[in-house]
Homo-oligomer: A and B are copies of this chain.
Amino acid sequence: MELSEGRLKFIEAWGKLGSEWGINRTMAQIHALLLISPEALTTEDIMEELTISRGNTNMNLRDLIGWGLVEKQHKSGERKEYFYADKDTWNIARQVAKERKKRELDPIIKLLNELSEVKGDDKDRNYKTFRSSVKDINKLAKNVNKTLETMLKAEESWFWGSIFKIFK
């Protein structure tokens, strides 16, 4: 396979993966393009490569910056903004985990704690099933939460090393 074909496939696959995980396709594609670009790119570069509009490019770049996956760069003597993606996969994974934890896991844990307080009749089967499901999900969510917190602080090699030491 040629590099140019490989690059296209990579961008396409990253976009598809993103959309399967609730991340907009274009945002994932811009990220993919930056991941395989040695140099920072301008808005124009991205628009051309992906044939998308200026507005779309701009908004998705802001989002990527909001996710902590892309940063703005300025070249001295130039007015234009350049965009660069961190290439360290472990940082990317951590950053995504961090943001999704904040946006989704934390609120769900908060709700589950509230739902644990729901009062009812212990003889009511609906109530018993509700309580039991909420309790179990709560436990799982808290375990995931603890594991993510460890991961957020950890070095990649230590993290996987620890995992595999046990799992063999």
Contact = CB atoms under 8 A, between A and B. Distances in A.
Nearest to A164: B146
Contacts of A127: 3
B115 A9 contact: yes
8 contacts: A1-B119, A6-B118, A10-B130, A17-B108, A20-B104, A21-B22, A37-B126, A162-B166
Contacts of A74: none
Contacts of A120: 2-3
A47 interface: no
> How many copies make up the complex?
2
Contacts of A163: 143, 147, 163, 166
Interface in A134-153: 134, 136-137, 139-140, 143, 146-147, 150
A118 B6 CA distance: 7
Nearest to A89: B136
Interface string A6-47: 110110010001011110000000000001111100000000
Given A89-B139, A139-B89, A140-B93, A9 B111 contact: yes
Interface string A98-132: 00000110001001001101111000111111101
